[in-house]
Amino acid sequence: MEPRDERIYEALRRWWGFTSFRPVQEEIIRAAMAGRDTLALMPTGGGKSLTYQVPTMAREGLCIVITPLIALMKDQVDRLRARGISAVAIHSGLSPRQIDIALDNCVYGDVKFLYVAPERLATEAFRLRVVRMNVSLLAVDEAHCISQWGYDFRPSYLRIAELRERLPGVPVLALTASATELVAEDIMHHLKFAEPHILRSSFARPNLSYSVRHTDDKNGQLLRIARNVPGSGIVYMRTREGTEQIADMLRQEGIPATAYHGGLGYAERSLRQEEWLQGKVRVMVATNAFGMGIDKPDVRFVVHYAMCDSLESYYQEAGRAGRDGKRAYALLLVAADDRDRIVRRLEKEFPPLEQIKEIYERVCSYLNIGIGDGGGASFLFNIHEFCAREHLYSGTVAGALKLLQQNGYLTLTDAQDNPARILFCVSRDELYRLRVKRDDLDPLIRTILRLYNGVFTEFRAIDEGELAAWSGYTPERVRELLKLLWQLRVIRYIPSNRSPILFMNEERLPRKDLYIAPETYLHRQQLMRERFDHMIAYAMNEERCRSEVLETYFGGGETTPCGVCDICLARKKAARLAVRSDEAKPRRSPDATPHRVGNAPVDLESRILECLERGITDPRQIAAEMACPPERYAEAIRRLLDSGTVRTTSGGRLERTAEGPAAAPAK
């Protein structure tokens, strides 16, 4: 074994307790150790973090990890520290002093991992420090965000190329679980790869059984899987109201469930998440905000109550089931009107260009940002409160903000823990007179002025604990005095909270100067529609293995049927029934021709009748059981209807007639 190999395996054993790697992990690590730029395509739960953590621990230097997910940042830092590994995170939830301390530790201390949000790369504090750090590897998580053709493009990712210029010779490891061929090429181009180099892990999940159910009784199907599959599960809903309604329905049916969505307070969300992680609650009913940074290996089922916008989103969310390698289920429920409903919503999320400009103006006015102001500033921004006040549809506003973000005007973060912020509303002279009058306020005001710059010109993040330590007050007393200063109109005070933050990448522009390239707008609209069309095709597919469909979409090479999805299982069942039917038939002479009606064997009708006997009456569910060409299935249904063997109900379902000709189901 070469010395490099020994260091890799020693780091793996010492820090993580493993003795072997998963497929492709070792190849990616070797490429990083050799200093080669690499794009690693790995599925959700495939062990991406080890591919940059192991090579970093196997040699000198620190690894800079760029990721947009603050919750994931904090989770990774906590996990590394629990193993005795020094790691820090830089994001907008920290005060300037905390950021300075963290960056100095990376320059002078023994920090091995620096997690940083892409928006922080442009700050002067980061630029000055990073060139003095001993950086051995640059890891880019969620690398598809750098591609304007990706489903989650973020302009701030384009700054990574500038960072590479400041760190010559440092290799980059780009990681993503969802990149088509076009997106993969775009990632390597924008990250300035020395040469194209892609390593792919298989996107197949042999233990995960994918299924689609076409039904107007989604509650019934959900209850069926919750009752028949033991263990914990996740149910993804489109709306906040839906999460509460379905969680309540499950509880009424005796299934411990709770809801998770952005409308809940931070403490309540944390409590519900912890109860689910500890197994006190069996089913988490959530919007797609839930799941990032959550590592619960024993999730036995994930149910999508409604279709996602893309296969990228679906694959990531469904992939949260069965990370322990044991059998798990991913079920997509599809109602007859789901497609039209989502198409209408997608259209609302691409508002006309003039409406985007109007929303930009209304957001700036809502945040009290004047024309020519706001550049580089950040603001707490709750989109739901804004929409309620302005009487706007949240989907339209979210779509407009995403397009403004993609054009570089602003950045809206996910909900995160935010420090307290203050801004002095009085002049220095007025403040001095107040300090003379109020002895109780003077120590705190002096401490604020000594610790924080710029408090007279913009909101500055403060650390209430730090203020307490320097002023001699308790943290509770600091908060009381800050509220008193607020009531006296001396400061504007925003207590620490959990909320999204809106960064103004540029100063507010007049409406006429706001430019969103129409060709980019139209192309992104077309790409979104194409991604949704692939989602529709997956949902409507009745012939090809679902795992193969997903692998092909993500650029996998040769694929093989998984054997456990609903399509594969239906095919196996059809084969068994065909064998039994053949064994039950009278022996024919070798030259005899099997009796056929039209183009379909008679036993297809028997199998349809067997489904009816088992209580499956939805024509689409029966079609899924048949696993045969649609035209053959349609012919068989037509013959059964014409003969009076079956009939349709007012709800569009099938039922066996009492007076029709006898046609016993296959035994």
pLDDT band at 617 (very low <50, low <70, confident <90, very high): confident
pLDDT at residue 591, rounded to an integer: 44
pLDDT band at 587 (very low <50, low <70, confident <90, very high): low
The CA–CA distances, whole Å, from 302 to 209, 271, 286, 320 equal: 10, 21, 11, 7
pLDDT tens digits along 386-421: 999 999 988 889 889 988 887 888 888 766 666 788
CATH class entry, domain 566-656: mainly alpha
The CA–CA distances, whole Å, from 274 to 44, 240, 608, 639 equal: 21, 19, 46, 55
pTM: 0.70
pLDDT band at 589 (very low <50, low <70, confident <90, very high): very low
Tell me how far apart the alpha carbons of residues 429 and 441 are, in angstroms, rounded to a whole number: 15
**At residue 69, does pLDDT exceed 90?**
no
Q: Where are the domains of the chain?
A: 3-200, 208-336, 343-417+501-516, 420-495, 566-656
Considering the segment(s) 3-200 as one domain, its CATH architecture is 3-Layer(aba) Sandwich (3.40)
Tell me how far apart the alpha carbons of residues 120 and 117 are, in angstroms, rounded to a whole number: 6
Q: Give the residue from 433, 435, 440, 422 showing the smallest Cα distance to 477.
A: 440
Higher pLDDT, 415 or 313: 313
Considering the segment(s) 343-417+501-516 as one domain, its CATH architecture is Orthogonal Bundle (1.10)
pLDDT band at 598 (very low <50, low <70, confident <90, very high): very low
pLDDT at residue 93, rounded to an integer: 66
The answer to whether 365 and 336 have CB atoms below 8 angstroms apart is no
pLDDT at residue 220, rounded to an integer: 95
Establish whether domains 3-200 and 343-417+501-516 are of one fold: no
Beta-sheet strands, E only, within 47-152 = 62-66, 87-90, 113-116, 135-140
Beta-sheet strands, E only, within 445-545 = 460-462, 491-494, 497-499, 501-504
- Tell me which H or E stretch contains 636: helix 630-642
* β 460-462/596-597 pair status: unpaired
Q: Give the residue from 28, 15, 33 showing the smallest Cα distance to 80.
A: 15
DSSP per residue over 191-205, as a string? TT-SS--EEE-----
Q: Give the residue from 343, 46, 399 showing the smallest Cα distance to 200.
A: 46
**Coil, helix or strand for 655?**
strand
**At residue 592, does pLDDT exceed 80?**
no
The answer to whether 56 and 33 have CB atoms below 8 angstroms apart is no
pLDDT tens digits along 483-492: 999 989 899 8
Q: Give the residue from 404, 359, 352 showing the smallest Cα distance to 154.
A: 404
Q: What number does CATH give the domain 208-336?
A: 3.40.50.300
**At residue 12, does pLDDT exceed 90?**
yes
- Count other Cβ atoms within 10 Å, centred on residue 368: 9
The answer to whether 372 and 460 have CB atoms below 8 angstroms apart is no
The answer to whether 287 and 218 have CB atoms below 8 angstroms apart is no
pLDDT band at 520 (very low <50, low <70, confident <90, very high): confident
Residues β-bridged to residue 497: 418
**At residue 594, does pLDDT exceed 60?**
no
Output the 3-class SS for 521-550: HHHHHHHHHHHHHHHHHHHHCCCCCHHHHH
The least confident of 101-105, 156-160, 539-543, 641-645 is 641-645
The answer to whether 448 and 410 have CB atoms below 8 angstroms apart is no
pLDDT tens digits along 464-473: 888 888 888 8
* β 172-176/38-41 pair status: parallel
Tell me how far apart the alpha carbons of residues 662 and 665 are, in angstroms, rounded to a whole number: 10
Identify the residue whose tokens are 């002025």.
449
pLDDT tens digits along 196-245: 999 988 888 899 999 999 999 999 999 999 999 999 999 999 888 999 99
Structure token pair of residue 154: 């973020």
